[in-house]
Amino acid sequence: KSEHGPAAMILKTSIKYWPAEYHSQSAIEAALFLRKEIADLARVKSVTIESHDAAVEIIGSEPEKWKPNTRETADHSLPYITAIALIDGDVTNKQFEPERFADPQVWRFLETVKVKRNAELSAIYPDAVANIVHVDLDDGRQLTRRVDYPLGHAKNRLKDSEVEKKFFALVSPTIGQERARGIVDLVWKLDEAKNVDGLIKAVDMKQK
């Protein structure tokens, strides 16, 4: 809030950085952090995800979340999303292709994944969208990472360069880097524009 009135809601808006259901974003970030500490995935005995009630109910409880047969199930599966982040060290559209989410080796890894409710994480939701990921190794060590405000959350904002990186990754394969760059340049100057005609024309897929 300022002398000009209440703060714009856009300042409270979160952006998903990874192409998966929003409640999984902090689990992805935690898993990617832990992946750097795991030299050999064969050493992983089990994975436990502690999450808040909303995440468990929406993306972490139904049996098919452990054996996804469609992209829609895979990108709304807390166990799959977390597991594939650990396995591949990345979460992009490639991780939601049928040959990846239906891979028997991935399904075997999913057998080691458990999802548990955490009352503390539920209490701080929806202000925080938190997950805790534990990875137990065969040498007795347990690796743990907690993320309350994932990358892109209103309290952990993406840098402009990170927003651009996501946009280019999603759009450039379809319309080309040059056109994608032009759209980004228009958006960054939108507050100076007299109207949105140029932007509408730039994003019109009928235009060549």
Q: What is the pLDDT of residues 122-163, one digit of tens each?
A: 999 999 999 999 999 999 999 999 999 999 999 999 999 999
pLDDT of residue 19: 96
Q: What share of the chain is helix, strand, coil (3-state, %, to 5)?
A: 50, 15, 35
- pLDDT exceeds 90 at position 105: yes
Query: Model pTM greater than 0.85?
Result: yes
Instruction: Render pLDDT for 48-94 as a digit per residue (tens, 0 to 9).
Output: 999 999 999 999 999 999 999 999 999 999 999 999 999 999 999 99
The residue behind tokens 């992946």 is 35
The pLDDT value given to residue 11: 86
Q: What value does the mean pLDDT take over residues 2-21?
A: 85
Domain 22-147 has CATH 3.30.420.40: no
Domain locations in the chain as residue ranges: 22-147, 160-203
Nearest C-alpha neighbor of 144 from the set 135, 157, 154, 155: 135
The helix (run of H) or strand (run of E) holding residue 53 is: helix 53-59
**pLDDT score at 10:** 85
